[in-house]
Amino acid sequence: MFLKAEDRKTIKDLAAKIRNEYNLTSLPIDIAKILNDKNIKFFTANLDNINGYELSGLIEKKDNGEIRIIVNNQHQDTRNVFTVAHELGHYFLGDLNGKKRVVSLRGGSKNKKERAADFFAAELLMPEDLIRETIEKLFFPTLQEMANKFRVSRAAMKYRLDFLGVPYYG
Ligand SMILES: [Zn+2]
């Protein structure tokens, strides 16, 4: 994690505020509520080769003001939930201001805005309080059980638990 502590704090507080505003307190976090309220349209498409780049997703503002999120239909559903949350990160962090489009490449080295959007997505979908509460409830859950509960990929959950210093099995 290469974001500064103060940046992480800002993003964590923003994600908490949004979860609070939309009453996103139970699992899995239903980000469709945010899309509906903000009137953000959601699409899937094959984004495996866009001018030679493999994209996870993108967010764009059309000339008529409509905002769309498009995710790669070649990727797993759980991965795409994270991508939608990531694109919402770009939206709430103001990355779309004055721009038509922000694209998110799959993997590779990530600039600060990409890392910030990833962190926002993790905070939105896997908030620390719900992680700790769920671990206690399930009593020694496996990584896969945790991933299922939060409807995220195993990789995303592993990354999150490692970041939080929470132990897990499997
Ligand atoms: Zn991105």
What is the residue extent of each domain of the chain?
5-125, 127-170
User: Which CATH code is given to the segment(s) 5-125?
Assistant: 1.10.10.2910
Between the CA of 137 and the centroid of ligand 1 the distance, in Å, is 33
Cα 23 to ligand 1 centre (Å) = 25
Residue 6 C-alpha to ligand 1 middle, in angstroms? 20
Nearest-angstrom CA–CA distance, 76 and 70: 14
- Using one digit for the tens of pLDDT, what is the confidence trace for 37-79? 999 999 999 999 999 999 999 999 999 999 999 999 999 999 9
pTM of the shown model: 0.94
State the pLDDT confidence band at 96, using cuts at 50, 70 and 90: very high
Distance between Cα 169 and ligand 1 center (Å) = 30
